[in-house]
Amino acid sequence: MHYYCVSFTHKNTDIATREKLSFSSEDKKRELLKLIHSNNKILESLILSTCNRVEIFLFTGELDKLNEHIINTLCLLCGVDKNELSAKADFYEDSGAIHHLFSVASSLDSLVIGETQIAGQLKDAYKFSLQEQKCGVHITRAIHYAFKCAAKVRNQTEISKNPISVASVAVAKAKELLNLENKTIVVVGAGEMSELACKHLLNAKAKVLILNRDIQNAKKLSETLGEDVSYESIANLKEALNKYEVFFSATNAPHAIITSDLLEEKDFKRYFFDIAVPRDIDIKMSEKNIVYAVDDLEEVVRKNLTLREHQAQIAYSIVGVMTNDFFQHLSKLATLPLVKQLRLRADEIAKEQLQKAIKKGYLKHTNHEEARKLINQVMNVFLHHPSVNLKKLSGTMQNDSVVNAMRYVFDLKNENLEGLNSYKCEFSLENHNEI
């Protein structure tokens, strides 16, 4: 049994391809889960889809041809060339998959290191998989440890001090370009990313106009944020585009909603910050119409990286330790049931043989209790050292082979023990010091 992850992120995949791979729609995500599980070797799955990444995290019976199955499935659903996807994807197995999951949960693999949104996004992805009955005990254990790891990173480093996000980076870029104070900034959308953008804009002393398809959601967000925020229907988008200078867009629309045909010639510059994937903005760049998408914010991100590099190194050390701890935990989950099963099996054999001895007249019925106590004492003495030694092995590299050998020798096939074999953590802290 194996943990496995296929990863497309801002590090290995351009935004145009990430747009095609986006699974913001629950129906599309549901279809992907269904197609993934057409391979009956895949037992559990989880899909994390954000503006910067698509992660497919699996628990599977075998790894043979798994890459090909996942890539073919994505090509079928998203219409991306197979060779292109295979070249871009990062594939992680077992300890590599768990280490990657923990890094993602701890915001170490994010475009903006230390951003705070990813934990909530991962939690939502887990809940969705659970609701679709595609997530079981194995991924649940991994997710539990991932959040435990993220909490440790947050508490033991300053990586999330003054927390930032893609939205905050976009606002920081806008502040570099012009003075936002008392300027009306248009925010298209009323979701989590839009709300973050609004908050950062308000901190910059700007005024905010929210445009949204659902006017009630826009009204609710406006009332939450205060008197410097107003709202209108997205039906007024064209008017706003030709009146104001700065725009932030973060909707879940499957296609661009701000297009060149909506723009009129103006004598002032307009700045567009597209923080959605798929992108909301598809206009022709010019001297007076300047567009920044998620991947265009690299300069601000690099500054963030330099400031947080030392803290990130500490955080990666924590992730490495937690990865080892997780596999030791799995070893214990295999060892303790085995000890219990050995004793239960010994007890069953003792009772069977005692009844046979009485039935065949080897033992008087009046001696039944004394014989039972003697057999139990013999079995306890016999199993004492194996039990102690198994517990000592728990969490070591030898544990898996010994557990499997014991299960084979004593023919122990209890369901609680199935699927807990062959986990080894080969992650080395020395090889992962860089960001």
**110 in a known ligand binding site:** yes
**379 in a known ligand binding site:** no
**204 in a known ligand binding site:** no
Per-residue confidence (pLDDT) for residue 434, from 0 to 100:
27
**Which tens digit of pLDDT belongs to each residue from 167-177?**
888 998 999 89
- Banded pLDDT at 421 (limits 50, 70, 90): very low
* C-alpha distances in Å from residue 82, one per residue of 69, 293, 335: 11, 26, 42
Strand, helix or coil at 183?
Answer: coil
**44 in a known ligand binding site:** no
Whether the Cβ atoms of residue 185 and residue 201 lie closer than 8 Å to each other = yes
* C-alpha distances in Å from residue 204, one per residue of 57, 134, 169, 248: 39, 44, 13, 14
What tokens appear for 285 in the block?
């760049």
Whether the Cβ atoms of residue 13 and residue 88 lie closer than 8 Å to each other = yes
Spell 211-232 as b/e; 16+ CB within 10 A means b: bbbebebbbebbeebeeebebb
**287 in a known ligand binding site:** no
**192 in a known ligand binding site:** yes
**377 in a known ligand binding site:** no
Per-residue confidence (pLDDT) for residue 430, from 0 to 100:
36
* Orientation of helix 26-36 relative to helix 117-131, angle to 10°: 60
| pTM for the model | 0.65
Pairing type for strands 42-49 and 229-233 reads unpaired
Whether the per-residue pLDDT at 51 is higher than 90: the answer is: no
Cα-to-chain-centroid distance, residue 4: 12
| Residue 4, strand partner residues | 58, 93
What tokens appear for 302 in the block?
């690099």
- Banded pLDDT at 424 (limits 50, 70, 90): very low
Beta-carbon contacts of residue 163 (< 8 Å; ≥ 6 apart) = 114, 115, 116
- Banded pLDDT at 52 (limits 50, 70, 90): confident
Q: Which domains does the chain have, with CATH numbers?
A: 2-162 (3.30.460.30), 166-303 (3.40.50.720), 332-410 (no CATH)
Question: What percentage of the chain reaches a pLDDT higher than 70?
Answer: 87
**Which tens digit of pLDDT belongs to each residue from 350-399?**
888 888 888 887 777 667 778 878 888 888 888 888 777 776 665 555 66
Mean pLDDT (the chain, rounded): 84
Cα-to-chain-centroid distance, residue 351: 49
Per-residue confidence (pLDDT) for residue 427, from 0 to 100:
35
**115 in a known ligand binding site:** yes
Per-residue confidence (pLDDT) for residue 423, from 0 to 100:
35
Per-residue confidence (pLDDT) for residue 384, from 0 to 100:
81
Whether the Cβ atoms of residue 135 and residue 45 lie closer than 8 Å to each other = yes
Specify the amino acid at residue 244.
Answer: Y
Per-residue confidence (pLDDT) for residue 197, from 0 to 100:
93
**Which tens digit of pLDDT belongs to each residue from 243-279?**
999 999 999 888 899 999 999 999 999 999 999 888 8
The residues carrying an active-site annotation are: 51
Whether the per-residue pLDDT at 164 is higher than 80: the answer is: no
Per-residue confidence (pLDDT) for residue 195, from 0 to 100:
93
**52 in a known ligand binding site:** yes
